[in-house]
Amino acid sequence: MAAIPDMEPFLGSNINKICENGLHDPKLNHCAHFVSHAVGLTFPFTCRQLVGGKSQPANIRVHEVFAECPRVGIWQDADKTRIS
């Protein structure tokens, strides 16, 4: 099982403090973008591909992130012993 990333350093941070490639438009949903920067998901399509930049790329599409998940399901059916 992969290690759970430490998300504490991101608390209160705006995406403009996380993405050094410049994809900061507040009208966009940055959920997948944030998660991808936080855990290092770099498979296409990335912020660097979309807006340019030279920093670490991160995926920006939710459906691509979910497609890479080894297991997905309904929240109510989750293993409650793994939820803290």
* pLDDT tens profile 12-42: 999 999 999 999 999 999 999 999 999 999 9
pLDDT tens track for 35-74:
999 999 999 899 999 999 999 999 999 999 999 988 888 9
* Integer Cα distance of 52 and 44 in angstroms: 13
Cα distance between residue 36 and residue 46, in whole Å: 9
**pLDDT higher at 8 or 82:** 8
Whole-angstrom distance, CA of residue 64 vs CA of residue 52: 20
Q: Domain residues of the chain, as ranges?
A: 19-68
Backbone angles phi, psi at 59, to 5 degrees: -60, 150
pTM for the full predicted model: 0.81
Q: Which two tokens stand for residue 46?
A: 């990335």
pLDDT, position 64:
95
pLDDT (0 to 100) of residue 26: 95
